[in-house]
Amino acid sequence: MTNQEIKDSLTRQVSSPLSDNIIEVPITTTTIKKFKGGDLPLYFKWDVDHTTWIYRVRIKNGRTIADMLQTTSDGIELKYVTLGSAFSNDNKPITEDEWRNEMHKFIKQIRD
């Protein structure tokens, strides 16, 4: 929506014209990150309190997918997540070794 369309919409919704009143309207923007297929796999990490999320973005069967290892005091969980979750601005890039170390802990958890 353009600023004029927003202003027209608000004018219709209120009983008096907007005249010189200032109205703040939040506008959400999206940033698209571009990566080459050769950049994959990519690894990210997010820590909050006692929970750690470690993401791996990779190509599987011709599709780009994201895996996540979630570590809590109860153990480690592996699941597929959206690409947006993995590429969140809150996540920090990490190395493949950090992913492998966490995956090793996950496999050990399964075997015990």
Angle at the Cα of 26 from the Cα atoms of 21 and 29, rounded to 5 degrees: 145
Give the span between the Cα atoms of 2 and 19, in whole angstroms: 18
pTM for the model stands at 0.68
Q: What is the pLDDT of residue 32?
A: 63
Tens digits of per-residue pLDDT, 16-38? 555 566 777 777 776 666 777 78
Give the span between the Cα atoms of 19 and 73, in whole angstroms: 57
How does residue 102 score in pLDDT terms, banded at 50, 70 and 90? Answer: very high
Tens digits of per-residue pLDDT, 43-53? 999 998 889 99
Beta bridge partners of 55: 44, 68
Tens digits of per-residue pLDDT, 52-68? 999 999 999 989 999 99
Q: What is the pLDDT of residue 16?
A: 55
